[in-house]
């Protein structure tokens, strides 16, 4: 299986440029919102409020993801200030996105007096679907690719010379890590939708914690294959550190949710 990006631009209409990256993010968001509204009856949420909360979370996610990314590349953006808001060029970090989405989502739930953790469970079920689609934006941007592979490797991604790291300038083919993560995200979505949510809907926050755990594991699997991670601490890629911390937090949170629920039931 061979992948070769046709380029980042989908369509040009005079001064208007439509990019594949933005389209994939939009399609991912729409798919997740549609899924969430269909699941709203499980928690007896009004569909309109689910849509509103999802939009608030999406806005917070984009802002948080960009701020996180810019902070990790502070040296670059310090001399390229005009590129800071240019999210359409790529550069959104999911870990920052999760923080931003949670903050704005919490504010909306508080203002509407909605059950925050149940809303988290609902939106978290649909979130991996958005991520699975959104990762294809990285394909069109020729970014977030993996280590070089041979021309005979079963699944390979061609990277044009202008997008290659200097140390790999003579290597044409790479691991399509965007594809690996997209497939794993889709598998996580099915797992949450079919197995976790139906069994954990009475454990407020548990589905959300399982989503965070599952996604962290996915990143810990895929991230070591990447060669273009933009920041590291102590020789370890920042996404690996963030994923490990998030996994620990999520597992602890899941344990707290289960113990708390059992105490309430016994009482």
* Number of CB atoms found within 10 A of residue 261's CB: 16
Phi, psi at 222, each rounded to 5°: -80, -40
Pair of tokens at residue 89:
């060029």
Predicted local confidence at residue 229, as pLDDT: 60
- Average pLDDT value over all residues in the chain: 91
256-260: long-range pairs with CB below 8 Å, 24+: 257/203, 257/204, 257/205, 257/206, 257/209, 258/203, 258/206
Q: Answer whether residue 230 shows pLDDT above 60.
A: no
Q: What is the pLDDT of residue 69?
A: 85
What does the pLDDT read at residue 82? Answer: 84
Q: What is the pLDDT of residue 262?
A: 82
Q: Is 167 exposed, middle or buried (0-12, 13-18, 19+ CB in 10 A)?
A: exposed
Paired tokens of 147: 């280590």
Q: What b/e readout covers 9-24, taking b as 16+ CB neighbours within 10 angstroms?
A: eeeeeeeeeebbbbbb
% of residues, the chain, pLDDT over 70: 95
Predicted pLDDT of residue 261? 78
DSSP bridge pairs for 19: 9
Q: Which pLDDT band, with edges at 50, 70 and 90, does 238 fall under?
A: confident
Between strands 232-233 and 173-174, the pairing is unpaired
Residues 170-222: pLDDT tens digits?
999 999 999 999 999 999 999 999 999 999 988 999 999 999 999 999 999 99
pLDDT band at 117 (very low <50, low <70, confident <90, very high): very high
Q: Tell me how far apart the alpha carbons of residues 238 and 47 are, in angstroms, rounded to a whole number.
A: 37
Average pLDDT of the residues in 155-166:
94
Backbone angles phi, psi at 39, to 5 degrees: -95, -5
Place of tokens 């992948």: 3
Distances (CA, A) of 206 to 131, 133, 188: 20, 24, 15
Q: How many whole angstroms separate alpha carbon 229 and alpha carbon 206?
A: 31
Q: pLDDT tens across 27-36, in order? A: 999 999 999 9
Band of the pLDDT at 232, cuts 50, 70, 90? low
């Amino acid at each position: 299986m061979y992948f070769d990006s046709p380029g980042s631009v989908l369509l040009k209409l005079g001064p208007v440029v439509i990019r594949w990256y933005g389209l994939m993010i939009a399609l991912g968001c729409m798919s997740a919102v549609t899924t969430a509204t269909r699941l709203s009856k499980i928690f007896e949420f009004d569909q309109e409020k689910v849509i509103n909360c999802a939009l608030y979370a999406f806005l917070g996610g984009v802002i948080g993801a960009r701020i996180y990314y810019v902070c990790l590349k502070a040296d670059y953006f310090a001399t390229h200030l005009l590129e800071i808001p240019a999210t359409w060029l790529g550069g959104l970090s999911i870990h920052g996105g999760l923080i931003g989405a949670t903050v704005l989502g919490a504010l909306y739930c508080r203002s509407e007096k909605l059950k925050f953790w149940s809303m988290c469970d609902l939106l978290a079920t649909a979130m991996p679907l958005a991520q699975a689609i959104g990762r294809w934006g990285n394909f069109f941007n020729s970014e977030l690719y993996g280590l070089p592979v041979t021309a005979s490797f079963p699944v390979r991604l061609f990277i044009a010379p202008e997008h290659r790291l200097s140390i790999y300038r003579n290597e044409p083919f790479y691991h399509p890590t965007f594809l690996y993560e997209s497939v794993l995200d889709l598998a996580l979505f099915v797992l949450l939708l079919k197995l976790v949510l139906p069994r954990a809907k009475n454990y407020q926050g548990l589905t959300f914690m399982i989503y965070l755990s599952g996604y962290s594991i996915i990143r810990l699997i895929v991230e070591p294959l990447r060669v273009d991670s933009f920041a590291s601490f102590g020789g370890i890629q920042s996404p690996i550190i963030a994923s490990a911390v998030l996994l620990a937090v999520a597992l602890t949170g899941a344990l707290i949710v289960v113990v708390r629920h059992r105490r309430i039931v016994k009482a």
